[in-house]
Structure 1
């Protein structure tokens, strides 16, 4: 499949920012539909897309779905500013190089077919039309034989009728997710009206608490903070937010903090039509902040689901921190624990957590966050034995003090199953898989719609070789946070799930995507090395290993063996053999 945006230069000249945003959305649609139809993106240079597929049916199905979804995403734009793509599809041989690029007549003919397509349309070759006839719910218009550049023989071209309207998407696109069955909501970043930019963290913390409270209820589907915060500081179109995140409702608001006084305002909007369902203002002191959060949450619930059981509301209530200064420090730590944070930001977050625990030694949420922070240090390659011991201690204490908070259960559970140390293949400390699984199961029973719960469940399932379950959890995490800046972590998770399930080709396809989209993410390169090794392609694994070492210079085979959390000894052994063969230092 070859595609490019029609009139891209003109669109850029008219409105550069809107055009770039539309292109980003379109790329997400392309990638989601290509991958859901057994395809693989080869290149997305500029405004073009090149992809290969396992089947002709998959290629045509993806092309039709892409055109329909791209058209839907741009329906709010003026007609002369809508981004439309030409797509060409051809069935033929291609040659794949070691770096994943492809070339040959198959690629060239697809590119020429794309040039013959109408904006918003799909053109295919005769070989495609023959291969998919009767298998795809659409019709073909014969455009006759066409002479195209650099191809010796004329190419018979068919225009696919309907421009994509005939075939629905097989999987909701990341650019336009389908509405879930539950009432769905995105909480946008609240405006900080305090007059002090340093107070942004407080406004962000309020949003985090409201998201968590709503997600604790099994009756709501709530978009994770990581995705809703991509709109921070931007003028937003609520209808567009609803489409991009796949939600029915959007909450926006503001926080004003002055001295000891706090004012929080909120308004709940139906995304499809912009109708305001509810708006209110809440005033109090800092000591009342947890009660204010509860009142906001209850007001939202009653506006959306007036028949919600009282027990569900009670379950969502925020448990007040014993020390407000410790709570403040935990809010400051949150951004540094997000996927994609720098090493400096993670160190600062851990410093905030330590200070919070000095003020409130029984602050179980801070302990769970501390366990997660130490786990991140090890995963990033600069942790040590003290991180293992401290992380396990934090996790044990957090679970001993709290058994009804899904966030605490999931973070601490992941730490118990991931932190440990082996010598000569024998466990010396940690790797407490059974306890980890029990904590994760409890978290899932309490709050299955929390991003952290699904992510941690995916990681633990992979670690104990339950690949299919892991894949389901990571896919759910991606749906909860479809625009997450740290998406690389969740995508790598899907590749890891394929790897432990023995689906090495699919694991490699994921690794190639991660390396292309998140080149500085060392876990993607680690996944690529092992996937290539499992496929017997060690020579190709060597350059991937070198890139891994550039990103994680402390990575060695022996260190990885000692801290690798995977339960299956054969899995660990094969990974070590592959790393050694690929040139990773012993």
Structure 2
């Protein structure tokens, strides 16, 4: 194994998916022009070696740290000049990260932690900016006429130790940029870090899990609004759900100091919530309380818990943060209960569950006509019923409900995600991307924003970006079996065999758990059949397919996934028999999905497949966008 110490530069285009969606040909041509006329020349002048290019990004190796930083600065200055007369929404801007580290060399490529750190630094750099590690800053010294902004130590995703980050200020007189949001001060993380473990459902009814989970999520959301706190994300803490764990162990595993745990008991119109805040450093209980109240006091209880934690940790609460924490999503607790139940049902994505979820959301807005989250939920259900299940739903109503959610709460990430899905359903893809990116800016861990954005990117053929958001969705919800199984198709399209198999196995494990919890739901069965087909497990795939059809014999979505499974297994006629029921009802979104679905590749040259797809594409006016 060859190893060497080298300087690694990673560059990537900010907002590349949005630019490509707006004008694919122009963006591609502009990017190639920037590379040939500026970037490649500067790299060559500074003795850099382009290791590989990844769509909108590149990985470059330099033997000299000074050359790498000088090259990066020249590229960013050059891009500023080239962007001067370009409208802001059409500018191509690079993020650049540079690290000095040890790498493994194999067949001309480089791997290892040195590369990973450079990639993470690129991720936290602002558009048009350069972020470097402390080792790079130290080696450059005063050799270059550049100013370095010390951002302190930060914890970067999947990097074991905190990294000291410096931003390069190309114009020293300019205003210092704020800390990048993806990085967290190591000192602050130690002193003001907290994990909210899933509150235990003490109601004696498993059906009440949605309520205790909803309260946990809302407390996490409220605490996350406080700038002085580092709060562990929902997807991480929910991996501990249902497990007997020790607080000290949790704190060590998550790298945090404080843990909040509690329980919820709901009986009729009464509720009992207990909570205790523990300092994992010494095991001491800093605060504990029990609330025996009417159900109508649920929001007041959440507010009291949040403020008690703030008081105990002596965190400064800014006026706008105090107002945000105090703001309840609705004044009607019954509407809140219906909303939580609808949200739980909607994540199954089957027609039956979406219709049930829609009834829950409709009831919520009947009880509170100003409930933004519930309007977003209605819009999501209708978009999914139209776009994925070929149901007759008014597109105008979808747009109206998503617009109403935004009007009621312009800063609600769920509303922006719902608007994005509604616009996608109406083939307004560029506007949809803008809404999804705004939702992710407001709440990066919002499941719907990541999942819906991934689906849009899939229909546009943006597989690498699509994979990123499906992976995030799968991380956010450990019970999500849909994203892992969709990832098998994405990675198959990208030619990544190992990733395809790994995600197929993960999806099957999650689908098995979902079938145990909801044996009446066909979705885990037909999606599981597809994942099993990816692994070549013919008999199990057929068994799961038969089970799905027995549960829901008229489910068009089940027909489609089982047809994909048969396609992968080489059973072309069986696959086509099922698709004969599906294709005539396809929406534009579904036909674009067909166009990019590698699971159907074995059928592409079959005369029946060509005929049915070309006819439907012509009916929908898609002849120029796809070639079935």
TM range (shorter): 0.5 to 0.7
Report matched runs for 1:57-68 at 5 Å. Answer: none
Report matched runs for 1:263-302 at 5 Å. Answer: 263-270=272-279, 274-282=283-291, 284-302=293-311
**Partner Cα distance (1:271, 1:347) in 2:** 44
Matched, 1:354 2:362: yes
Aligned to 1:255: 264
Report matched runs for 1:418-433 at 5 Å. Answer: 419=425, 430-433=426-429
**Partner Cα distance (1:369, 1:551) in 2:** 35
**Partner Cα distance (1:397, 1:274) in 2:** 47
The secondary structure found in structure 1 opposite 2:315 is coil
Q: CA deviation at 1:577?
A: 7.5
TM-score with structure 1 length normalisation? 0.53
Aligned to 1:307: 316
Matched, 1:334 2:343: yes
Aligned to 1:581: 605
Aligned to 2:373: 365
Residues 218 and 449, structure 1, Cα contact 8 Å, conserved in 2:
no
**Partner Cα distance (1:415, 1:382) in 2:** 15
Greater mean alpha carbon deviation, residues 318-327 or residues 541-550: 541-550
Aligned to 2:246: 237
Matched, 1:447 2:456: no
Aligned to 2:124: none
Aligned to 1:515: 504
**Partner Cα distance (2:301, 2:383) in 1:** 33
The secondary structure found in structure 2 opposite 1:356 is helix
CA 1:194/1:411 → structure 2, altered by over 3 Å: closer, same or farther?
A: same
CA offsets 1:169-225 (integer angstroms, 9 cap, x no match): x98499xxx997364544333234456666544333322321232345566565555
CA 1:135/1:257 → structure 2, altered by over 3 Å: closer, same or farther?
A: closer
Matched, 1:410 2:417: yes
Q: CA deviation at 1:475?
A: 4.7
CA offsets 1:44-76 (integer angstroms, 9 cap, x no match): xxxxxxxxxxxxxxxxxxxxxxxxxxxxxxxxx
Greater mean alpha carbon deviation, residues 462-471 or residues 350-359: 462-471
* Counterpart among 427, 434, 454 of residue 438 in structure 1: 434
CA offsets 1:439-467 (integer angstroms, 9 cap, x no match): 22332332234444444444445555655
The secondary structure found in structure 2 opposite 1:385 is coil
Residues 410 and 439, structure 1, Cα contact 8 Å, conserved in 2:
yes
Aligned to 1:543: 569
The secondary structure found in structure 1 opposite 2:261 is strand
Return 5+ residue gaps in structure 2 as ranges: 1-105, 114-155, 164-181, 509-523, 537-563, 614-628
**Partner Cα distance (2:483, 2:404) in 1:** 27
Q: CA deviation at 1:486?
A: 0.8
Q: CA deviation at 1:409?
A: 1.7
- Higher normalized contact order (CA 8 Å, seq sep 6+, divided by chain length): 1
**Partner Cα distance (1:367, 1:525) in 2:** 34
Q: CA deviation at 1:356?
A: 2.1
* Counterpart among 201, 204, 224 of residue 213 in structure 2: 204
Q: CA deviation at 1:390?
A: 4.7
CA 1:439/1:574 → structure 2, altered by over 3 Å: closer, same or farther?
A: same
CA 1:406/1:247 → structure 2, altered by over 3 Å: closer, same or farther?
A: farther
* Counterpart among 547, 563, 567 of residue 589 in structure 2: 563
Residues 364 and 398, structure 1, Cα contact 8 Å, conserved in 2:
yes
* Counterpart among 489, 492, 495 of residue 505 in structure 1: 495
TM-score with structure 2 length normalisation? 0.50
Residues 276 and 288, structure 2, Cα contact 8 Å, conserved in 1:
yes
CA 1:432/1:402 → structure 2, altered by over 3 Å: closer, same or farther?
A: farther
The secondary structure found in structure 2 opposite 1:299 is helix
Q: CA deviation at 1:368?
A: 0.9
CA 1:526/1:317 → structure 2, altered by over 3 Å: closer, same or farther?
A: farther
Matched, 1:188 2:197: yes
CA 1:546/1:241 → structure 2, altered by over 3 Å: closer, same or farther?
A: farther
**Partner Cα distance (1:237, 1:330) in 2:** 33
Aligned to 2:405: 398
Residues 250 and 268, structure 1, Cα contact 8 Å, conserved in 2:
yes
CA 1:396/1:268 → structure 2, altered by over 3 Å: closer, same or farther?
A: same
Residues 217 and 312, structure 1, Cα contact 8 Å, conserved in 2:
yes
Report matched runs for 1:74-153 at 5 Å. Answer: none
Q: CA deviation at 1:372?
A: 2.1
Cα RMSD after superposing both structures: 5.1
Aligned to 1:33: none
**Partner Cα distance (1:580, 1:452) in 2:** 32
The secondary structure found in structure 1 opposite 2:393 is helix
Residues 185 and 249, structure 1, Cα contact 8 Å, conserved in 2:
yes
Residues 492 and 524, structure 1, Cα contact 8 Å, conserved in 2:
no
Residues 567 and 600, structure 2, Cα contact 8 Å, conserved in 1:
no
Residues 187 and 252, structure 1, Cα contact 8 Å, conserved in 2:
yes
CA 1:409/1:512 → structure 2, altered by over 3 Å: closer, same or farther?
A: same
CA 1:558/1:229 → structure 2, altered by over 3 Å: closer, same or farther?
A: same
Residues 371 and 395, structure 1, Cα contact 8 Å, conserved in 2:
yes
Q: CA deviation at 1:294?
A: 1.9
Residues 226 and 317, structure 2, Cα contact 8 Å, conserved in 1:
no
Q: CA deviation at 1:469?
A: 4.8
**Partner Cα distance (1:527, 1:272) in 2:** 44
